[in-house]
Amino acid sequence: MPLTFSDPRSGDTAAQDAPDVKSALTGFAEDFRGFRSDLDRRLSAQAARLDALDRKAVAATRSPLSATRADAATPHRKAFAAYVRQGDEDRVRSLDMEEKALNTAVAAEGGVLVDPQTAGRIESVLRASSSLRAVARIVQVDATAYDALVDHAEMGASWITESSTVSDTTTPQIDRISIPLHELSATPKASQRLLDDSAFDVEGWLAERVADRFARAENAAFVSGDGVDKPKGILAHPSIDNASWSWGSLGTVSTGSDGAFAASDPGDALVELVYALPAGYRANAAFLMNSATAGAVRKLKDADGRYLWAEGLAEGQPARLMGYPVLIVEDMPDIATGATAIAFGDFRSAYTIAERPDLRVLRDPYSAKPHVLFYATRRVGGGVTDFAAIKLLDFSS
**pLDDT tens readout for residues 103-136:** 334 444 444 555 555 555 556 655 555 578 889 9
Encode pLDDT of 28-76 as tens digits.
667 667 767 777 777 777 766 666 665 555 455 444 433 334 444 455 5
Q: Count the neighbouring beta carbons within 10 Å of the beta carbon of residue 217.
A: 17
What is the pLDDT at residue 270? 94
Least Cα distance to 131 among 306, 346, 332 occurs for 332
Question: By the 8 A CB rule, do 368 and 91 touch?
Answer: no
Residue 48: what are its φ and ψ, rounded to 5°? -65, -40
Question: By the 8 A CB rule, do 77 and 203 touch?
Answer: yes
Q: Is 305 left (phi over 0), alpha (psi -120 to 50) or beta?
A: left
126, exposed or middle or buried, with CB in 10 Å at 0-12, 13-18, 19+? buried
Q: Which amino acid is at 184?
A: L
84, exposed or middle or buried, with CB in 10 Å at 0-12, 13-18, 19+? buried
Domain residue extents for the chain: 234-349+382-394
What is the pLDDT at residue 287? 96
Question: By the 8 A CB rule, do 388 and 250 touch?
Answer: no
Tell whether pTM > 0.75. Answer: no
3-state SS class at 36: helix
Max Cα separation, the chain? Answer: 159
What is the pLDDT at residue 102? 32
* Exposure string for 166-196, b = 16+ CB within 10 A, e = fewer: eeeeeeeeeeeeebbbbebebbbebeeeebe
Question: CA 89, CA 283: separation in Å to the nearest integer?
Answer: 51
What is the pLDDT at residue 3? 47
Q: Count the neighbouring beta carbons within 10 Å of the beta carbon of residue 115.
A: 27
- Where the chain has pLDDT below 70, the residues are 1-22, 24-25, 28-29, 31-32, 35, 47-130, 152-160, 162-173, 198-200, 203, 313-316
CATH class held by domain 234-349+382-394: alpha beta
Question: By the 8 A CB rule, do 229 and 221 touch?
Answer: no
